[in-house]
Amino acid sequence: MTSFSNGTRRVERVRRALLFVPGDDLKKINKAAGLGVDSLILDMEDGAALNRKTEARTTIAQALRTIDFGRSERLARINPLESGWGLDDLNIVLPAHPDGIVVPKVETEEQVQEVSLFITQFEKREGMPEGGIRLLIFVETAKGVINLRQIAGSDPRLDGIMFGGEDLVGSLGAVRTKPGWEIFYARSALVTYAAAFGLQAIDTIYADLHDIPGLIEDSRLAQQMGYTGKLAIHPRQVEPITEVFTPSDEAIAAARRLSEAFQTHQSSGAGVFELDGKMVDMPMLRAAERVLARARAAGKV
């Protein structure tokens, strides 16, 4: 596992593609465990029917205890706290020691803190290091978007914020379109607040399973906006997403060259300088350093 620093926190895992897996289907979980995905989200919320919630909890707990997930991070998505099922989900899955918990439909900092405190109490009872089980959350409602500042700074257990674009459209009463202008403000706001608080920003799903070129284009836009990864709803989406969020050899070489040239010019007392016909200054250096940090996190450097 590669650690890298981003802002005010240390994020311990690279999360380029995060694949949803229905929590009530042990065969699908077992198959997904062999795919080598950065993160698997074992789902008790949307991925489980209302009459299968209990089955999803117990199946996920069984899978966590018995299946070898290889290098994949094991995340369990609980139901929203207001549903009345969320804490019951935690009671069943926490003893199976997932790597992290995903909380949907977060709208306030208190919701994050409530789940984190619940996990802390479990870790203390079990004699586990406090903070070892990480927390990722979904912001997918209008209220969640306007409270992003408080949510992003709510708890040190929090690693990242996931953008739920499809649910947000329903919250807004908007119409989902391929260009996505109806969600663009929220998409921009989420990545901005995540960066301000040193959190990973995980982009929303791409619903068309057969439109791989569209998925790649949407993933590139998210990556250019500053997102660190994207949600996947089918195994066929994993490879394209992972590739987009992994710096290419050319990008790594260019970033190294710029960084080395900057150090050389700094040593000689020069600030701004020219490289390949372009003026190089601190913002360009920071961009290069971000490329190299992503490359290190992905194991390419």
Catalytic residue list contains 89: no
The count of residues in the chain is 301
Q: How far apart are CA 239 and CA 245, in angstroms?
A: 10
CB 131 within 8 A of CB 99: no
Report the DSSP pairing between strands 39-43 and 17-22.
Answer: parallel
CB 169 within 8 A of CB 135: no
β-bridge mates for residue 134, sequence order: 100
Catalytic residue among 88, 155, 218, 281: 281
Sort 258 into a burial class: Cβ within 10 Å, 0-12 / 13-18 / 19+. Answer: buried
Residue 211 identity (one-letter amino acid): D
Q: Which residues are tagged catalytic?
A: 281
